[in-house]
Amino acid sequence: MHILVIGAAGMVGRKLIEALVREGGLGGKPIERFTLTDVVAPTAPAGFAGKVETLAADLSTPGIAAKLIANRPDVIFHLAAIVSGEAEADFEKGYRINLDGTRYLLEAIRLAGGYMPRLVFTSSIAVFGAPFPEAIGDEYFSTPLTSYGTQKAISELLLNDYSRKGFVDGVGVRLPTIVVRPGKPNAAASGFFSNILREPLVGQEAVLPVSREVRHWFASPRAAVGFLKHAATMDSAALGWRRTVTAPGLSATVADEIEALRRVAGEKAVRLIREEPNETIIGIVAGWPRNFDARRAEAVGFVADRSFDDILRAHIDDELRGKISV
């Protein structure tokens, strides 16, 4: 089996590749070959005996998509995107990377002829825009309030149409917000959801810029990798021509996060969270979805995290070698 990962240097891409290498196969078939690409050359995974090609390439450059699929990978993970904030700040770049890039890939596959790979596409809950119902169901309409969400919603429509026409076998997954994101605190408006857990676990302070009542929709990196593997191997016919699902997340408040931290790491960890309200972030977060009814994805076998305690323990196992240092 030959697997192409576009966006292989990102956090989700790296975690996915690690898991695939560790497991040696996908859906019961051995993996012989990886093609890994991103705008910066991804590092080849350690411990993989098969063939690995890594290359720095920008999918939004005409001609690149055809090169990436020249050896007809069986499964393509298209995870490449610029994030919401950047797509909002740089309108042209957002459409070029997040829309044209996806369209070039679909066109390259169509024009290859006699080739219909499984294409797993990461979409986003940003395809939905406020005002929201209490829980956003599988038939709720897409009214994105960002260019990023617009680009993802358009890509979903293209994935459906190219699949319906028999040009590709697409499955899209709207990922929840990933917690706990490994690494350093970053400037993303959603960063605090991870920061308030990740930093205290290693004895560092973290800033909470919003109220503890804020509710949002989460998945661990482990669950996200599980979604992508399932999307790559499931029977896509179960989705009809509505090829993108809202992945099942965990709806939780900041208070729920903090209580999980207290249970798993103790009061001392919780005391490292400093409340420092930030009106800009409060405003941005107010427009985000809080809860979903993802029964369609659950019905076709996508599996959510069970609790925030589990999310925390997975982070401690995967990123901290099992050790809390507070």
Stretch that binds a copy of itself, among 31-39, 77-85, 160-168, 310-318 (CB under 8 A): 160-168
Q: Which of 134, 139, 235, 267 binds a copy of itself (CB under 8 A)?
A: 139
Q: Which of 23, 62, 241, 276 binds a copy of itself (CB under 8 A)?
A: 241
Tell me the DSSP string of 10-51: SHHHHHHHHHHHHH-EETTEE--EEEEEESSPPPPPTT--SE
Find where tokens 């169509």 sit: 110
Q: Which of 150, 190, 246, 251 binds a copy of itself (CB under 8 A)?
A: 150
- Assess 170 for contact with a copy of itself (CB under 8 A): no
CA 256 to chain centre: 22
- Of the pair 146, 251, the CB lying nearest a copy of itself is at 146
Stretch that binds a copy of itself, among 3-11, 55-63, 150-158, 247-255 (CB under 8 A): 150-158
- Of the pair 166, 322, the CB lying nearest a copy of itself is at 166
The H or E element containing residue 176 is none
- Assess 242 for contact with a copy of itself (CB under 8 A): yes
Picking from 188, 177, 197, 176, the residue whose alpha carbon sits closest to that of residue 320 is 197
115 secondary structure, DSSP code: -
Contact 163, 131 (CB under 8 A): no
What residues between 100 and 129 interact with a copy of itself by CB under 8 A?
A: 110, 129
- Assess 154 for contact with a copy of itself (CB under 8 A): yes
- Assess 40 for contact with a copy of itself (CB under 8 A): no
- Assess 153 for contact with a copy of itself (CB under 8 A): yes
Tokens linked to 6: 């576009």
Measured CA to CA, the distance from residue 318 to residue 312 in angstroms comes to: 10
Stretch that binds a copy of itself, among 41-49, 112-120, 133-141, 286-294 (CB under 8 A): 133-141
Question: How many of the other CB atoms lie within 10 Å of CB of 197?
Answer: 26
Question: How many of the other CB atoms lie within 10 Å of CB of 282?
Answer: 14
- Assess 93 for contact with a copy of itself (CB under 8 A): no
Question: How many residues line the site for a copy of itself (CB under 8 A)?
Answer: 22
Q: Which of 49, 141, 213, 280 binds a copy of itself (CB under 8 A)?
A: 141
Q: Is 148 a catalytic residue?
A: yes
- Assess 165 for contact with a copy of itself (CB under 8 A): yes
Q: Which of 70, 157, 255, 299 binds a copy of itself (CB under 8 A)?
A: 157
Report in angstroms how near the CB of residue 215 gets to a copy of itself at its nearest.
Answer: 21
Torsion angle, alpha carbons of 78, 84, 89, 93, to 10: 10
Residue 179, preceding bond cis, omega within 30 degrees? no
- Of the pair 96, 229, the CB lying nearest a copy of itself is at 96
Contact 66, 58 (CB under 8 A): no
Report in angstroms how near the CB of residue 225 gets to a copy of itself at its nearest.
Answer: 28
Report in angstroms how near the CB of residue 242 gets to a copy of itself at its nearest.
Answer: 5
Picking from 96, 37, 44, 26, the residue whose alpha carbon sits closest to that of residue 69 is 37
Question: How many of the other CB atoms lie within 10 Å of CB of 185?
Answer: 16
Stretch that binds a copy of itself, among 154-162, 184-192, 254-262, 303-311 (CB under 8 A): 154-162
- Tell me which of 104, 140, 148, 162 is the catalytic residue: 148
Contact 107, 60 (CB under 8 A): no
Residue 30, CA distances (Å) to 24, 88, 121, 138, 187 in order: 6, 41, 22, 34, 39
Binding site for a copy of itself (CB under 8 A): 91, 110, 129, 139-145, 147, 150, 153-154, 157-158, 160-161, 164-165, 241-242
Q: Which residues are catalytic?
A: 148
